[in-house]
C-alpha cells in the first residue's frame, strides 16, 4: 500500500509533510452483508447481539464519557 503524503503549513514553521489517509476504501460485498438477523438463529442470540451493540447506552458495568464514576 502506498501512503499519501501531503504538505501543509504549520504554525511557527513553513511547510511540513503530513501523512494522509491510510485506509483502503471498500464496501461490503455479497448478498449476506448486513443481514445479521438471518445469521443468528434463536431469539436469545439476537437479543444478546443487540444488547452488546447498545452496551454503550444501557450498560451499568462501565463508565463511558457521559457517565461519572461518582455522582455529582
pLDDT in tens, 3-14: 888 888 888 888
Stretch 21-33: mean pLDDT: 77
Higher pLDDT, 63 or 50: 50
In the structure, what pLDDT confidence band is assigned to residue 64 with cuts at 50, 70 and 90?
low
Domain assignment of residue 40, given as a range? 35-61
Residue-level pLDDT at 6: 87
CA angle 27, 31, 33 (to 5 degrees): 50
With a pLDDT cut of 90, the percent of the chain lying above it is: 4
8 falls within a domain: no
Q: How many domains does the chain have?
A: 1
Amino acid at each position: 500500500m502506498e501512503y499519501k503524503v501531503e504538505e501543509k503549513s504549520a504554525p511557527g514553521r513553513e511547510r511540513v509533510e503530513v501523512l494522509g489517509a491510510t485506509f483502503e476504501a471498500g464496501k461490503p460485498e455479497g448478498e449476506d452483508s448486513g443481514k445479521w438477523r438471518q445469521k443468528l438463529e434463536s431469539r436469545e442470540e439476537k437479543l444478546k447481539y443487540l444488547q452488546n451493540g447498545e452496551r454503550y447506552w444501557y450498560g451499568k458495568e462501565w463508565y463511558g464519557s457521559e457517565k461519572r464514576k461518582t455522582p455529582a
